[in-house]
Amino acid sequence: VDWLGRHLERDIAGNHLWTNGAGLALAGCLFAGKSADRWWACGYRLLNECIDSQLSADGEHFERTPAYQCELASQLVELAGWGDRRDPDQADRWRSTSHRMRSFADRLRHPDGVSPLFGDSTFDCLEMKSSRPLGNRSEWVGDYYVHRCAGDALIFDTGDMAADSLPAHAHADLLGFELSHAGERIFVDRGVFAYSGSARGEYRSSSSHNVLTIDSEELADVWSSFRMGR
């Protein structure tokens, strides 16, 4: 834990730095003594900084990947359970933040109860499944336009492909969408299969998404494993 505290992933930032803070805060809850006090203080301050800088007012994480949205929200709930021993008020803030993040993700889900596979998402990371009925309505959820009618659902992403400062989990999916009909997914995003090798480039390409292309032109210059140009 001391090593982690001396090697925070500020060069990567994003969900990495968020998780660094959560890890330090958790260690501060599990142990006692001066080191634990230091871990806790560093961890909860860092995590709160990440929450303030990485979440929109609606509760969307700025890397715009539903799987990471659910994973980070789950981290906060788990940490809050241990944080009650250290600072109940702080723990309640994390629960409230997690609820805001989950509520955002919940409004994007398909009729099957699971979120879309935008960005670097996989079904095994989308553990948040809900059976709460959302009714027939059309609404904006952040930069997503969501239309629901009976068992049909259209989830249309009108926002940026990535945060300008961190495109690591972004795909070339400008104006992409997913669609369910009669409760079944019909138009689906491929999500992600690998973080390296040729498959990485394939899954990030425009041809792996429900988007408009002209002459097979890519909608973004994705390169290496986690880079994006123009």
pLDDT tens digits, one per residue of 85-96: 999 999 999 999
| Residue 107 near residue 143, CB atoms below 8 Å | no
Give yes or no for a contact between 172 and 209, defined as CB atoms under 8 angstroms apart. Answer: yes
Using an 8 Å Cβ cutoff, are 153 and 147 in contact? yes
Asked if 217 contacts 210 with a C-beta cutoff of 8 angstroms, the reply is no
pLDDT tens-digit map of 163-200: 889 999 999 999 999 999 999 999 999 999 899 998 99
Q: Which residues of the chain have pLDDT under 70?
A: 126-132
CA distances in angstroms from 137 to 91, 107, 129, 133, listed in the order given: 34, 11, 20, 11
pLDDT attached to residue 123 = 85
d(CA 109, CA 130): 8
203, 191 Cβ separation under 8 angstroms: yes
pLDDT of residue 126: 66
Dist. CA 185–CA 154, nearest whole Å: 10
Question: Which one, of 150, 47, 152, 55, lies nearest residue 105 by Cα?
Answer: 55
